[in-house]
A and B are shown apart, each in its own frame.
Chain A
Amino acid sequence: MAIRNRRPTCACPGFAAAISLAALCVLTPSTAFAVADLLETPARSTELATVSLLNDVARAGDSERLVAVGERGHIIYSDDGGAKWTQASVPVSVTLTGVDFGSASHGWAVGHSGAVLHSSDSGSNWTLQMTGIQAANLAIAGVQQEIETTEQRLETAAEEDVGDLEWALDDLVFGLENMQADLSVGPVNPFLDVWFEDASHGFVIGAYGMIFHTADGGNQWQDWARKLDNGDKYHLNAITKIAGGALVIAGEAGQIHVSEDNGITWDRRDSGYEGSLFGVTGTGNSGEALAFGLRGTVMHTTDNGQSWERLQTGSSTTLNDGASAGERLVLVGNNGTLVIRNGANDEFKETLRADRLGLMGVVINGPQSLLLVGEGGVVLVEGDAGMEEQGAVE
């Protein structure tokens, strides 16, 4: 089930319209515009973008370019490892939550109001590919088709299956009503992460079990929700591909979903943890990954998520993102938390940054440099990877 993603008309100005709006902005103060919907309001060009909340950071393919996304439609990019940043042209002002590049030039960013943005020039200019309205319509159509299928099966079902099928049908109808109620309010639900294999294949995931797949660089999106075992519609928080080729999604209520066929089929695996997992990151070893979340929890697998064990980090704050380079592993979290392990057999060591501002994303820039993003914008940590942070609390 897929519908063609139509270029938004006048209600949602596309890139061309955004350009003309931007041109108008030069002539008149932007305050002259009445408050419009966030999906129709281009992000304001501001020096504050590098010091405001940023939720994710990614490298554009194999290039030097780093791209970070955050509140108010802010997307900023840097070509010098995070020292100097430029604000990209973005047609929306929603809070953005995730960014990923399928190649050096093609990248996607996702966020609130179901916004999916695409850039084909390494993150300098962005266009709106999908909104929460279109996403909700796709999901509703998917459920409606499922209801039809279930009804058909019910007609021909064996006696002993009828009860189960009726239960399932009730669930579907209830779910459909909820989605329709949500849609009547507007594009209420956020996407929370994005992953792209290349310039064509990718997934966006988000709140209440939303997951959509594209095979043509985002021109058409397909609702993938019922390919996952997530009947309770828990949030899907993070998606990544680990060494060995497995795709891993981490989510609310300790969920782990793994696909070993590049996203065609998904298998729910038991993380052994019941709280929320906000991030998942590979280590570079085939089949090995860390999933982490609330209260400093870090779960560890070496077999594509078949079995998990809890690692002791000494941290008790929420961990949001992680990165690995060689043997080195860095996790970041709320209240300025950094959890770092320098060798596979070393202990994790926690430091708290003096400003105690929440951290949402990390890129390992090199052996002596970490790029962090979060509540206070961009933080470039040079030196021994932040181990000697001032104001650290033992």
Chain B
Amino acid sequence: MTNPKHARGEHYLTTPKAEPFLERLIFNNRITILVLFAVLTAFLGYNAVKIQPDASFERMIPLEHPYIVNMLEHRDDLENLGNFVRIAVATKDGSDIFTEEYMETLRQITDEVFYLSGVDRSGLKSLWTPNVRWVEVTEQGFQGGTIIPDNYDGSSAESLEQLRQNVLRSSEVGRLISDNFRSTIVYAPLYENDPQTGEPLDYAAFSRQLEEKIREKYQAQNPNVSIHIVGFAKKVGDLIEGIGAIAWFAGITIALTTLLLFWYSRCIAGTLVPVLTSIVAVFWQLGALKILGYGLDPYSVLVPFLVFAIGISHGVQLVNAMAVEAARGFDPLNAARLAFRALYIPGMLALISDAFGFLTLLFIDIDVIKDLAVAAGLGVAIVIITNLVLHPLLMSYIGITAGGIRHVQKQGEETDRKWRRLSAFASPKAAPISVLIALLGLGVGVYLKQDLKVGDLDQGAPELRADSRYNTDNAFIIDNYSTSADVLVVMVKTPVEQCTQYSVLRAMDTLQWELQNTPGVQSTVSLADVSKIVTKALNEGNWNWYAISRNQTIINASIRDAPSGLINTDCSLTPTLVFLEDHKAETLQTVVNAVEVFAANNSNEDHTFLLAAGNAGVEAATNDVIAKAKDWMLVFVYGVVSLLCLATFRSWRAVLCIVVPLGLTSVLAEAIMAMSGIGIKVATLPVIALGVGIGVDYGIYIYSKLEKFLLEGKSLQEAYFETLRSTGKAVIFTGITLGLGVVTWIFSPIKFQADMGLLLFFMFIWNMIGSIWLLPALAHFLLKPEQMREKARLANAKS
């Protein structure tokens, strides 16, 4: 052994010399430091208030992935493809759309949407817009007109009948008009940036306008219509709105924690000061993020909760230590100093291990997760300052109340009996049973987690709950229109002005047929389809001509009016849209594999097939990154935690005692994910790192005490009893406060936040149980107290 103090049986970290430098620095300049803190809090608090919700699309995707690189490289060429909203206006009483009242409401909605800022008016489509037409082939050529008859008066039976005929003659049934003629769609493409001001579209504001000016207004005006809105802008708007609900969760969390803290300490000061210091830490963290240029995205909004919970859980130990010192008769200042002296190193060690756990997230190439790592790392750094400096300083003025001191003194024999019972976990009788149960749990967990999937598993927008308004709207549109919400876009790159060549269309058509014969693909669309349909139309609508002509002149004529999204400006890129049945990871993988094989065999100088854009393309890339990062991250986080424990305790047996319960928790957490249909995704992957990083605290606290008492010569069970007596309560309390910090998230309107909340709650609580129940059982098998003492004695003698 190289560390003499450690070998002597004094834990070198937990028993520093009296009055270390830091303690003098802090406690001799109390006023200066408090003033400094007040100024900092004012400054950072001011910034914290200004922090904005931010649901930037780009930060949520793996920017380095080749699919995403391709997508972003061609983003301008694909611009018009994805960004639109569809507003379905449905009749409620089951009548069809051919009534005066319905058509009038639809007309007003169309006009209202036309004037919403952000809408590309030239692309706006509804039955009332002139760009939606019916076409008929006649002996003289084409004949056509707007869907609304020229002489439409709304009231006469003739004009409604004419309207019905025009609708039937148009090719919009299934697109703008539902298959059952009970709803129609107002389709509004959006500008990513305002063409006049260049300002990016404000999704939150746009989404609010849709609610207020369209949904609420017209549902109130015409009680027989219901309005369903889908589209990226609406989804992002709902997400940002969902972040707003977090304020409620914050309030509930603070209230619950305060109550719990008072129950624990029975001291007003010991309750309010940790809560206030933790809130100060949250303000600092938010303010620092704002200054560093970050916003609050739906993922990193979790971090303030963690910061608060970590702040409380460490703060409670200071309160506990101070109450013990105060009960011995020390005044507030000295009690605070002694508590600080006892706690600042194990506190820092635990917090630093938390931070390391978070920093492993930097391994995942998705900005939003990296942001989460930065925000959490920053938060922990701040908690170190507020908790270890601000908190004892404040307490040194206020002190523990008499009630709090009495509460500590009262906890004598009654609580000892409880700890005595719990210490049986270390007994030779209970230990084998515990280990057996753990093995059984491990087996069940490993069995169940076979079903664990990568990616999002639910229908609809995975970010939101299945029964959210957005997803019910989405389901309505999928049920009533020929459309799918999951689109994979294969980009076909050609030399300039060559994107409509026969060879290109023919290759795309081959790919499409390959994909339509691939499980999970619902339908496909490309320029090849446009060419076939229009070629047929140009040949008097005769299906015998439904083919891509080998004659380039005919092809060119057939795609003259192709939708702009299907050809870029210099005709060097044309997308193939693949509509999928769902966005399950297997579906995505099967389809992406089929495209990859095809692309590898058919890309040449005339046409290169590139993956991938569309929401399914982004998800495929994200799944790929997550699947690859998952194992690395686990290896890394466990590696870091194990190394940290090894460095502290210099014994692999100690490492096993601490890390094995964590491993069991990780396995069980994955089993829970598999059972409740939560996939490994951007939201849940960080949870594993957070859970392990924070969960190791318990083990460190328990093991360090246990080792100390063992070296003092106590038997394992006796040593564990002493451990529980001195730190058990704090550990249990820490687990509960951490759990409380995240449990409110289960009720978040944002699905992945709920998933994160559930998993973190489980991991925080179960890690605590694991360290109290399983750690001593493992210690029974792994630790050799005689050897430990012998080593300590030898080292002692040597020094």
Which residues of A are interface residues toward B (Cβ below 8 A)? 29-35, 38, 44, 46, 48, 53, 55, 71-72, 94-95, 97, 112-113, 182, 185-188, 190, 192, 237, 274-276, 278, 294-295, 318, 320, 334-335, 352, 356, 358, 360, 374-375, 393
From B44-52, B286-294, B538-546, the one touching the partner chain is B538-546
Contact between chains at A294 and B546 (CB < 8 Å): no
A68 and B545 CA atoms in complex are apart in Å by: 17
Question: Which residue, A34, A192, A360, has most C-beta atoms of chain B within 10 A?
Answer: A34
The answer for the CA separation of A356 and B549 in the assembled complex, in Å, is 26
B594: which of A31, A35, A53, A112 is its contact (CB, 8 Å)? A31
Residues of A within 8 A of B552 (CB): 185
- What residues of A have a CB within 8 angstroms of the CB of B173 in the complex? 356
| Chain A CB within 8 A of B787 CB | no
- With A30-B514, A34-B602, A334-B541 given, is the CB distance from A294 to B138 under 8 Å? yes
In contact, A190 and B541 (Cβ under 8 angstroms) = no
The answer to whether the Cβ of B168 comes within 8 Å of any Cβ in the partner chain is: yes
Say whether A97 contacts B601, CB under 8 Å.
Answer: no
* Residues B517 and A44 in contact, CB atoms below 8 Å apart: yes
Q: Is B507 an interface residue (CB 8 A)?
A: yes
Residues in chain A near residue B137, CB distance under 8 A: 294-295, 318
In addition to A46-B517, A393-B168, 10 A-B residue pairs with Cβ atoms within 8 Å of each other are A30-B514, A34-B602, A48-B517, A53-B543, A185-B551, A185-B552, A188-B550, A274-B139, A276-B139, A276-B542
Interchain CB contact under 8 A, A278 and B542: yes
CB distance from A249 to the nearest CB of B (A): 15
Give, as a whole number of angstroms, the nearest-CB distance from B48 to chain A: 55
Q: List 16 A-B contacts (CB under 8 A).
A: A32-B601, A35-B510, A55-B543, A95-B544, A97-B544, A185-B551, A187-B550, A188-B549, A188-B550, A190-B544, A294-B139, A295-B138, A335-B169, A356-B173, A358-B543, A360-B543
Contact B547 A112 (CB under 8 A): yes
A295 to B507, CA, bound (A): 35
Partner of B601, one of A31, A46, A190, A275: A31
CB contact list, B513-560 vs A, under 8 A: 513-514, 516-517, 540-547, 549-552
B35 at the interface (CB under 8 A from A): no
Also in contact, A34 and B541, with CB within 8 A (given A44-B513, A71-B546)? no
B168 touches A320 (CB 8 A): no
Tell me, in angstroms, the Cα distance from A352 to B510 when the chains sit together: 33
- Residue of B544, B549, B598, B602 touching A192 (CB-CB under 8 A): B544
Contacts of B546 in A (CB 8 A): 53, 71, 95
Interface residues of B in 198-222 (CB under 8 A from A): none
Q: How far, in Å, is B415 (CB) from chain A's closest CB?
A: 69
| Min C-beta distance of A107 to chain B, whole Å | 18
Rounded to whole angstroms, the CA-CA distance of A356 and B445 in the bound complex is: 53
User: Which residues of B have CB within 8 Å of A72?
Assistant: 513
Contact between B138 and A48, CB atoms less than 8 A apart: no
Could you tell me the dominant secondary structure of chain B's interface residues? helix
State which of A35, A53, A360 has its C-beta within 8 Å of the C-beta of B507.
A35
Q: Smallest distance from the beta carbon of A226 to chain B beta carbons, Å?
A: 24
B506 adjacent to chain A (CB < 8 Å): yes
Q: What is the number of residues of chain B that contact chain A, defined by CB distance less than 8 Å?
A: 33
Whether A276 touches B543, Cβ cut-off 8 Å, given contacts A31-B594, A318-B137, is: no
Asked if residues B597 and A275 are in contact (CB atoms below 8 Å), the reply is: no
| Most chain B C-beta atoms within 10 Å of own C-beta, residue among A30, A35, A192, A276 | A35
Top 3 closest A-B pairs, CB basis?
A275-B139, A95-B547, A97-B544
Question: B167-195, CB under 8 A of A: which get 1 and which 0?
Answer: 01100010000000000000000000000
Q: Give complex CA distance A55, B544 in Å.
A: 6
B513 touches A31 (CB 8 A): no
Whether the pair B550, A186 counts as a contact (CB closer than 8 A) is yes
Residues of A close to B547: CB separation below 8 A? 71, 94-95, 112, 190
Q: What separation, in Å, do the CA atoms of A48 and B519 have in the docked complex?
A: 12
- Chain B residues, Cβ within 8 Å of A55: 543-544
Distance to closest chain B CB from A11 (angstroms)? 16
Pick the contact of A318: B514, B540, B545 (CB < 8 A): B540
**Smallest CB gap from B180: residue in A:** A391
Q: How far is the CB of B385 from chain A (nearest CB, A)?
A: 59
Complex Cα spacing A341 to B378, Å: 82
**Chain B residues within 8 Å of A71, by CB:** 546-547
| Interchain nearest-CB distance for A78 vs B (Å) | 21
Cβ of A45 to closest chain B Cβ, rounded Å: 9
Q: For residue A372, give the distance in angstroms from its CB to the closest CB of chain B.
A: 13
CA distance A55 to B547 in the complex (A): 12
- A318 with B542, Cβ < 8 A, contacts A31-B594, A31-B597, A44-B517 known: yes
User: Which of B168, B503, B543 has the most A CB atoms < 10 Å from its CB?
Assistant: B543
Instruction: Please determine whether A185 and B550 come into contact, CB atoms closer than 8 angstroms.
Output: yes
- Closest-CB distance, A357 to chain B (whole angstroms): 10
Interchain CA distance A46-B602 in the complex, whole Å: 21
B551 contacts across to A, CB distance below 8 A: 182, 185, 188
Q: Which residues of B contact A53 (CB under 8 A)?
A: 543, 546
> Nearest chain B CB to A166's CB is how many angstroms away?
30
- Find the residue from B543, B544, B550 having the highest chain A CB count within 10 A: B544
> Are A34 and B601 CB-contacts (below 8 A) given A48-B516, A185-B550, A295-B138?
yes
CB 8 Å contact bits of B142-169 with A (1 = contact, 0 = none): 0000000000000000000000100011
CA distance A113 to B510 in the complex (A): 17
Please give, as numbers and ranges, the residues of chain A lying within 8 Å of B545 by CB-CB distance. Answer: 190
A358–B543 alpha-carbon span in the complex (Å): 8
Is B540 touching A294 in the complex (CB atoms < 8 A)?
Answer: yes
Chain B, residues 485-524, CB within 8 Å of chain A (1/0): the string is 0000000000000000001001100100110110000000
Across the interface, do A335 and B168 meet the contact criterion of CB distance under 8 Å? yes
A276 pairs with B540, CB closer than 8 A = yes
Given A188-B551, A318-B137, A356-B173: A31 and B543 interface contact (C-beta under 8 Å):
no
- Residues in A with CB closer than 8 Å to B542 are 237, 276, 278, 318, 320
Instruction: List the B residue with the shortest CB-CB distance to A192.
Output: B544
- Inside 8 A of B139's CB, which chain A residues have their CB? 274-276, 294-295
Assembled-state Cα–Cα distance A187/B550 (Å): 8
Docked Cα-Cα span, A39 to B594, in Å, equals 24
Q: Which residues of A contact B507 (CB under 8 A)?
A: 35
Q: In the assembled complex, which residues on chain A have CB atoms less than 8 Å from the CB atom of B136? A: 295
Which residue on B lies nearest to A187, using beta carbons? Answer: B550
Give, as a whole number of angstroms, the nearest-CB distance from A292 to chain B: 13
Chain B residues in 8 Å Cβ range of A278:
542
Contact across chains for B517 and A356 when beta carbons are under 8 A apart: no
Complex Cα distance A29/B593, Å? 12
Measured CA separation A318–B139 after assembly (Å): 11
Q: Is the CB of B517 within 8 A of A33?
A: no
Cα–Cα, bound, A227→B357 (Å): 87
CB-CB under 8 A from B598, the residues of chain A are 31
Closest to A253 in B: B139
> From B552, which residue of chain A is reached at the shortest CB distance?
A185
Question: Looking across the interface, which residue of chain B has its beta carbon closest to that of A375?
Answer: B543
Q: Complex: how many Å from CA A46 to CA B545?
A: 22
Bound Cα distance A192, B545 (Å) = 9
State which residues 573-630 of B face A: CB under 8 Å. 594, 597-598, 601-602
- Provide the residues of chain A in CB contact with B514, threshold 8 Å: 30-31
Known: A275-B139, A393-B168. A318 touches B541 (CB 8 A): yes
CB proximity of A211 to chain B, nearest CB, Å = 16
Least CB distance from B789 to A in Å reads 67
Compute how far the CA of A268 lies from the CA of B549 in the bound complex, rounded to whole angstroms: 30
Q: In this complex, what residue of A is CB-closest to B516?
A: A48
Smallest beta-carbon distance A9→chain B, Å = 21
Complex: chain A residue closest to B510, CB-CB: A35
Interchain nearest-CB distance for B365 vs A (Å): 29
B540 / chain A contacts, CB cutoff of 8 Å = 276, 294, 318
Indicate if the CB atoms of B543 and A320 lie closer than 8 Å.
yes
Q: Distance (Å) between the CB of B560 and the closest chain A CB?
A: 19
Q: Which B residues are in CB contact (< 8 Å) with A95?
A: 544, 546-547
Whether B544 contacts A360 by the Cβ 8 Å rule is yes
Interface string of B226-262 (1 = CB under 8 A from A): 0000000000000000000000000000000000000
